[in-house]
Structure 1
């Protein structure tokens, strides 16, 4: 189970990993906390699909659901919504208040309840989500971490989040933070591109690291996913309102990426099984044991 804040996050954070495991026969579920209703059009060539609109919350939600369905199909995974409303990214000095009724203002037990239910029903052995910083300071990303940690602790306790007729308690075995944009990866790819005399899309990232607020965190697990980069890229392109096919996510030559950084990285945040670090498999310590049944 991969828990994400918005539709499109699943395509830019661990997408090739989910595609690889799905192709290998693992049952993979993407859980999306919000509908992405406050996302702006970020693709200058975007055209709103016929019969839809993008200038209302409801219209955006409908379009983002279409895009999410196409992304999940590209990755070969299942996907579910928790049903909360995007909080938006507040900007300005001072920052404006978050909109009433948004995900990040939802009380924790109310926000975590549907995720606990999803964990108990889906019964994942492994959960991935964001580190405490959210990966970057979007209130929905930070709260996704908080809500996922609550579900990790509570889903296995039959005395918590009791729902009459609901699925029985289920205790996941491993919890990971995904590392979408580590500075180590950015520097390595940047140097490989510039060594070939090409222009790197990461120049400003290197120069303004503090402004980008990219956390440096421990990597415990590297998943080799080069063969699934095409599925990742297809999932990115599925989010046509957000992802410019000529833009940032496609600015790194794929042959350089394959050579320099063919993996996706994770941090083992909690484990209820024994494992040996470093790992090359999210299911290390689970495969071939009674816990995997």
Structure 2
């Protein structure tokens, strides 16, 4: 189970991994905490621009359904409203995801964990990957559900207790990966206009330490990842240099998606190449 803040986050943060495990016959569920209602329209080439201006929430549901089909995953909406970015005074819209008490916002995720019974949960780190209020809240709610779902005394109305075996944070966007792709691009495609964009990204990502413990061999599914991400056309331009790098270059330089094991109820050895390592009957 992967817990994400908005529709499109699942496609930019783990889609190749989800498609990889689905291809092996594993069940994968993505949970979108909000509908992305307060997002901006980030693609000036959007064919459905009129609908996006009229009903962005409805369009983003269509986009999520298309991405889900591409990845072959299960998907659930947690049902909360996008918080948007905090106002200048730090406040958030009333009733939005990040403004709701934790006991309330975590309850439906605990129920999903107990019904789906995942062996592995993936969410964001304490900073949300980047400091959007909903990303930070997705972290808090995800960790709360991971812990609470195993305790029969908590959320008793949410079903029979279930212990998730392992909790991971997403570490896919890391500086070591970026450096490897940059170096490979310089060697194989020295005239690429993407080089300057990657050089800029290296400048602001250089302070990120490499914390991954687990590298999933998902390179064969990078094309699937990109197709899923392009399904979210209101959020991603089809040629965005931030998201879309040559996949043959990526497969040579860094053919994995990366995660950090935060808690495990089973024995495993580092580094890992499988999220299910150590889980009896689930490998």
Aligned mates of 1:186, 1:95 — CA distance in 2: 35
- Partner SS, residue 53 of structure 2: coil
Kept after mapping to 2: 8 A contact 1:14/1:180: yes
Kept after mapping to 1: 8 A contact 2:214/2:258: yes
Deviations 1:125-179 (A, max 9, x none): 000111111111111111111111111110011110121xx42111100010011
| 1:66-215 correspondence to structure 2 within 5 Å | 66-90=62-86, 94=88, 97-163=91-157, 166-195=158-187, 196-197=189-190, 198-199=192-193, 200=195, 201-209=197-205, 215=208
Cα gap change, 1:249/1:76 in structure 2, threshold over 3 Å: closer, same or farther? farther
Deviations 1:43-91 (A, max 9, x none): 1110227xx73235xx211111100000010000010000001111247
Deviations 1:226-272 (A, max 9, x none): 11112111101100101111112554222111100110000000000
Give the length in aligned residue pairs.
279
- Among 244, 255, 273, the alignment partner of 2:248 is 255
Kept after mapping to 1: 8 A contact 2:176/2:210: no
Structure 1 residues without counterparts, runs of 5 or longer: none
| 2:265 matches 1:272 | yes
2:226 corresponding residue in structure 1: 233
Structure 2 residues without counterparts, runs of 5 or longer: none
Kept after mapping to 1: 8 A contact 2:121/2:166: yes
Aligned mates of 1:215, 1:149 — CA distance in 2: 22
Aligned mates of 2:243, 2:185 — CA distance in 1: 13
Cα gap change, 1:119/1:16 in structure 2, threshold over 3 Å: closer, same or farther? same
2:51 corresponding residue in structure 1: 53
- Partner SS, residue 226 of structure 2: helix
- The TM-score, its normalising length taken from structure 1, stands at 0.90
State the Cα RMSD in Å: 1.8
Kept after mapping to 1: 8 A contact 2:226/2:244: no
Aligned mates of 2:265, 2:107 — CA distance in 1: 22
- Partner SS, residue 268 of structure 1: strand
Kept after mapping to 2: 8 A contact 1:18/1:75: yes
Aligned mates of 2:120, 2:12 — CA distance in 1: 19
Displacement of 1:209 after TM fit?
Answer: 3.5
